[in-house]
Amino acid sequence: MSSDRSDPNNTTHFGYEQVPVADKQRRVREVFSSVASRYDVMNDLMSLGIHRVWKRFVIDLAGVRPGERVLDVAGGTGDLTREFSKLAGPQGQVILSDINAAMLGEGRRRLADKGIVGLPVVQANAECLPFADASFDLVTIGFGLRNVTDKDAALRSMRRVLKPGGRLIVLEFSKPLNPGLAKVYDQYSFKLLPLMGKLVANDEASYRYLAESIRMHPDQQTLKGMMENAGLERCQVYNLTGGIVAVHRGFNLAA
């Protein structure tokens, strides 16, 4: 698919629906603007709290050291940002970025509630990050890549801003490894998830989209190949909860 947004004949998926490429970013923005205030509550409900274990795995894998520069792409409400900030310390810098202003507002508020103020918050598109080449030791994107229109462009953009030796970590829903688990997961995703969205967030449609977007996201090996095509090396895949979630890590080893 061409990434030319000006051509009305170019389409991409928004969940299971095909939409003009130019429209996807707007529609994703509307989804997350709708759910921003309930986002963390719904995460706890949807995952039975397991999302905290997945994120802890990312934090441990990232191995942020004092003085490092970190970019949290699609960082939303800032839970990863908060932990990275503690690890990088006053000598380092952590930037929270997201394309959605409502999510960034929630993130800034929640960081302030935890006593973290003055941390840079940048509204940015993952496909064309507004940072210089070789700016960061670590770039992360947690549960955001599947909502990006041009994932290949986003991966190239994230690799570009990595310092030589820097690492990219992608945390995302993926494909269950066991067929039996996949069947149970489908029932949960398409029946219970929209119902929870309706009852808790008063937004059934957005959570139906989220379930569909997970199914349209590349599987573990496909995403690994996309990372390699973007110039990342030593790419590894870590399956969590039977492959319902996968963590991908790759390095920018270019001199």
CATH number of the domain at 135, please: 3.40.50.150
Tens digit of each residue's pLDDT (9 = 90 or more) over 135-186: 999 999 999 999 899 999 999 999 999 999 999 999 999 999 999 999 998 8
Tens digit of each residue's pLDDT (9 = 90 or more) over 56-111: 999 999 999 999 999 999 998 899 999 999 999 999 999 999 998 988 998 999 99
How far out from the chain centre does Cα 183 lie?
A: 24
Please report whether residue 199 resides in a domain: no
pLDDT of residue 40: 64
Query: Is 126 annotated as ligand-binding?
Result: yes
How far out from the chain centre does Cα 84 lie?
A: 15
Q: How many domains does the chain have?
A: 1
Please report whether residue 9 resides in a domain: no
How many angstroms separate the CA atoms of 73 and 159, rounded?
12
| Confidence tier at 189 by pLDDT (50, 70, 90) | confident
Query: Is 241 annotated as ligand-binding?
Result: no
Q: What is the pTM of this model?
A: 0.87
Please report whether residue 186 resides in a domain: no
Query: Is 98 annotated as ligand-binding?
Result: yes
Please report whether residue 4 resides in a domain: no
- Domain of 123 in residue numbering reads as 48-173+218-251
Please report whether residue 17 resides in a domain: no
How far out from the chain centre does Cα 231 lie?
A: 19
| φ/ψ of residue 18, rounded to 5 | -90, 125
Please report whether residue 133 resides in a domain: yes
**Contact 38/210 with Cβ under 8 angstroms?**
no
Query: Is 77 annotated as ligand-binding?
Result: yes
Residue 222 has pLDDT above 90, yes or no: yes
pLDDT of residue 1: 39
Q: What percent of the chain has pLDDT over 70?
A: 87
Tens digit of each residue's pLDDT (9 = 90 or more) over 102-148: 889 989 999 999 999 899 999 999 999 999 999 999 999 999 999 89
Residue 3 has pLDDT above 60, yes or no: no
Please report whether residue 26 resides in a domain: no
Please report whether residue 166 resides in a domain: yes
